[in-house]
Chain A
């Protein structure tokens, strides 16, 4: 067994254990934390397409999650849509929005790109905050009902968690397939050597734009799960703080790795939910955690642990030599 296969096995085992943990704990409090971690994980994975695989640091990604959630809220509350029909419309809206915003933001790269995504994100926050006739302004939009699925009422935390696991696994597998695909490889190439990629026949701008739309789509999916879980949306969910938090999840967990954003999401949400129950200054603890990560595992938790595991588990040299 190569060390890579071992690490994959270890990762899958840990992931399954982590997914089962809230159910073992049994109390709705822990199961709900599990659901929130998975929603944050889908959101962070969507941003990872841009930050990790595309090398495009966006700090306006909450706009897609928030817009998707607002569309579901508005359509179900004010226009008599069912939750699922509203969700389909929300995804359409978010894809169109990502296409337009992407075309604007991709006029720049690096810090310019970052500033444009920030401006666009804050624009959406401003709309949600000021257009109070429609969005409820600072009051937000409450009382969105959790839908039924196949006749099961998802208000039950365990059932909702099961749906989140299914959605998370779909997103994770989708992400894995994407990173191995022609478009995914092309995106990673444009991150490392954009000029050469152009010369090799890859349309760098178009690849980045499509990646931007895919990232927007998955943030939209996270937004639907978000409104399904909370039943409430506030302008803060669209804003800079939320965009920065998801960026921290990606970077702390390990940008450009499949599981990095998942681990990052777990760290942030667990600290936020569990530790804040015992320690009132939990933000301080979150800050210390990030400082520790930056010092000990500067490339992020997942790549850092992978490096440690590789040194602990040296290659067992029998497969390569024996078969050749």
Chain B
């Protein structure tokens, strides 16, 4: 039996003027995989995420999500198709409470987002699911606090809660540990480990200890290209990977 493919990228290229940010990337992520995207700054990891989610239009190439072509589809099509992501730079709603932040996420996949009259606050299906998502990241007790009263580490966890609340099939995590202290890193690591295995994960992360512990497989990018792919031992042994990391 062949494994189902969660994400298939073929011949993806993205040019910014003369710069080839992504240069002929092919990537196959099987369902249930936890893939780590590795590479020095400017390797094109976040650009690749932006191309998958439709924030950017590829110069050439295609993206398939569970066999369905989503190349260049605007980003609001992602959520209904089971694709969620988090951001490297905190991208949350500063005027709202934590629960309201998650409710905006739940609203994104609900037809009620078009209703100009139905009151959302107090609706059980939203309130309960928002609290469940916050519980998943350990923020249940702070559900009714405004975002401004939370720490940076808590905001990082809320980033993940917003994505998890939609119960996605494929989750893209862009540096979920960026800027966290040692203890906070361990907390978030545990939280990512606890994500159900039926959610396929693609992770960009620079913290090697955590990233290598979380990932099933690794793809190394450099100057917009995939230069190496495999499990931990294969990647660490690859001479080109050594060269990049020692040279840079």
Contacts and interface: CB of A to CB of B under 8 A. Distances in A.
A36 interface: no
B244 interface: no
Interface in A154-179: 177-178
Contacts of A199: 53, 55, 75-76, 78-79, 84-85
Interface string A166-205: 0000000000011011111110110011011111111110
Interface residues of B, number: 35
A183 B114 contact: yes
A193 B114 contact: no
Which of A178, A186, A201 gathers the greatest number of chain B CB atoms within 10 Å? A201
Interface in B47-71: 53, 55
Given A192-B95, A200-B162, A183 B78 contact: no
B115 A198 contact: no
A200 B108 contact: yes
B164 to A, nearest CB: 12
Given A186-B113, A198-B74, A199-B85, A193 B119 contact: no
Contacts of B79: 199-201
B118 interface: yes
A18 B118 CA distance: 30
Given A193-B93, A198-B76, A183 B116 contact: yes
A133 B150 CA distance: 63
* Max chain A C-beta neighbours (<10 A), residue from B53, B79, B94, B116: B116
The residue in A184, A193, A198, A199 that gathers the most chain B C-beta atoms within 10 A of its C-beta is: A199
A201 B119 contact: no
B113 A196 contact: no
Contacts of A200: 79, 104-105, 107-109, 162, 166
A182 B110 contact: yes
Contact of A201 (B87, B94, B95, B109): B109
B108 A181 contact: no
A214 interface: yes
A195 B113 contact: no
B118 A182 contact: yes
B115 A182 contact: yes
Interface of A is mostly: helix
B116 A181 contact: yes
A50 to B, nearest CB: 15
B43 interface: no
Nearest to B106: A200
Given A193-B92, A201-B80, A180 B120 contact: yes
A197 B92 CA distance: 10
Nearest to A180: B119
Contact of B119 (A177, A186, A203, A210): A177
Contacts of A210: 116
Interface in B91-130: 91-95, 103-105, 107-110, 112-121
B93 A192 contact: yes
B120 A181 contact: yes
A178 B116 contact: yes
B76 A180 contact: no
B104 A185 contact: yes
A183 B121 contact: no
A195 B55 contact: yes
A183 B85 CA distance: 23
Contacts of B113: 182-183, 185-186, 201-202
Count chain B CB atoms within 10 A of each CB in A185, A192, A193, A203 and give the residue with the most: A185
A86 B83 CA distance: 49
Interface string A12-28: 00000000000000000
Given A178-B117, A182-B114, A193-B92, A203 B107 contact: no
B93 to A, nearest CB: 5
A189 B75 contact: no
A183 B118 CA distance: 9
Contact of A195 (B84, B91, B107, B119): B91
Contacts of A202: 76, 104, 107-108, 113
Given A177-B117, A180-B120, A181-B117, A193 B91 contact: yes
Contacts of B110: 182
9 contacts: A182-B112, A185-B107, A195-B55, A195-B91, A196-B93, A199-B55, A199-B75, A200-B162, A202-B107
Interface of A: 177-178, 180-186, 188-189, 192-193, 195-204, 210, 214
For the complex of A and B, the 9 pairs showing the least CB-CB separation, nearest first, are A201-B79, A201-B108, A200-B108, A182-B112, A198-B75, A196-B91, A183-B116, A182-B115, A182-B113
